[in-house]
Amino acid sequence: MRRKLGNRRTPEPRVPAAGDALYLIAHACFDCRKSFKIAPRDHSAVCPQCSGSLNEMGRSFKAPKISDTEQWQKIEKLWRAGFRFFSYRSYPDAEPLPERLRDVDEFIVRNPDHPFRLRDSN
C-alpha cells in the first residue's frame, strides 16, 4: 500500500557489475587455523587476523576446530600437494580425501590424477 502511495520505493534489482563474485570461496590461514569466506580474486588474500596469507581452499571446505591441530596439519599437507575441496557431485567415483593425517602421504602417492588436485602441483 505504501508503494502505491509513493511513500516506499521499490528497490531496483541489483545487477552484478563486471568482476563481482557470484559466490564466496573458503580461504584458510594455516597460522591462525581460521577460515574466511571471501570473493575469488587474482591476487593473494591477506588474513584479517594475523596479516599472513590466506589460501584458497575451495567451495566445499569445512574448517576443523582451531584446537584440532592434527586436522589442520592434514589440510595444509593436502593443500600444499595441490588438493582443493570441491563437491563430489561431479565426481562420484573419486576417492574421498583422507580423514587422518597419517593417511595423507599414501593418499597423495596413490592419487596423482585426482580430480580435486591441481594439475601443476606435484
Taking only the tens place, the pLDDT of each residue in 43-86 is: 888 999 999 999 999 889 999 999 999 999 999 999 999 999 98
12-40: per-residue pLDDT in tens?
Answer: 665 555 455 578 889 999 999 999 998 88
pLDDT of residue 122: 47
What one-letter code names the amino acid at 112?
A: P
- Give yes or no for residue 1 having a pLDDT over 90: no
E-state strands within 30-102:
34-38, 45-46, 53-58
Rounded Cα–Cα distance for residues 97 and 91 (Å): 12
> What's the CA gap between 4 and 95, in Å, rounded?
58
Looking at residue 107, its pLDDT comes to 96
Residue of higher predicted confidence among 73 and 87? 73
104 close to 78: Cβ distance less than 8 angstroms: yes
Gap between the Cα atoms of 79 and 61, Å rounded: 11
Res 2 pLDDT > 60: no
Q: What is the number of residues in the chain?
A: 122
